[in-house]
Amino acid sequence: MIEVYTDAATKGNPGVSYSGVYIKNNHEKVYRTSYLGTLSNHEAEFASACFALKICRDLYPGEIISLRTDSKIVVETFETGRCKNKDFLPYHEQLLKLAEQFSFVFMKWIPEKENKTADRLAKEALQTHLYE
């Protein structure tokens, strides 16, 4: 099972947004960041989860993925399979489509204190690129 931690950092709401992804696969550790665009905080969390699954699709196709995030809304919409907010629907649909490429994907909500590495990656990427 691949442990995947994801978080987003946004400057403004909406604003410039970056993703931080930390993956643990046995002794292998993968760190990635990505510019997500100008998004709301929640949209950025969804986009970050999508980015994480794209990385896993490329590195670990067909594996079991445990995606961990401190965004309750991302976890709730994924687990229920329903998305009430039309702004989040494209991300929700993308998450479901990406999940089909693995043996199993489950999402787990974790407190921010357990998501420090992904949070740090997203915030560092945001700060670095704000001053370029």
pLDDT tens digits for range 50-59: 999 999 999 9
The structural domain count of the chain equals 1
Say if 128 falls within a structural domain. Answer: no
Residue 112 DSSP class: G
Q: Cβ(55)–Cβ(21) under 8 Å?
A: yes
Q: For residue 29, count other CB atoms closer than 10 A to its CB.
A: 11
Using DSSP's 3-state secondary structure scheme, residue 48 falls into helix
| pLDDT greater than 60 at residue 91 | yes
Say if 131 falls within a structural domain. Answer: no
Q: What is the pTM of this model?
A: 0.94
One-letter amino acid identity for 99? A
**62: pLDDT confidence band, cut at 50, 70 and 90?**
very high
Say if 118 falls within a structural domain. Answer: no
Say if 103 falls within a structural domain. Answer: yes
Quote the percentage of the chain above a pLDDT of 70: 98
**3: pLDDT confidence band, cut at 50, 70 and 90?**
very high
Say if 44 falls within a structural domain. Answer: yes
In the chain the first and final C-alpha atoms are separated, in Å, by: 38
- Residue 25, strand partner residues: 28
CATH number at residue 26: 3.30.420.10
Range of the domain at 21: 2-110
| pLDDT greater than 80 at residue 130 | no
Say if 94 falls within a structural domain. Answer: yes
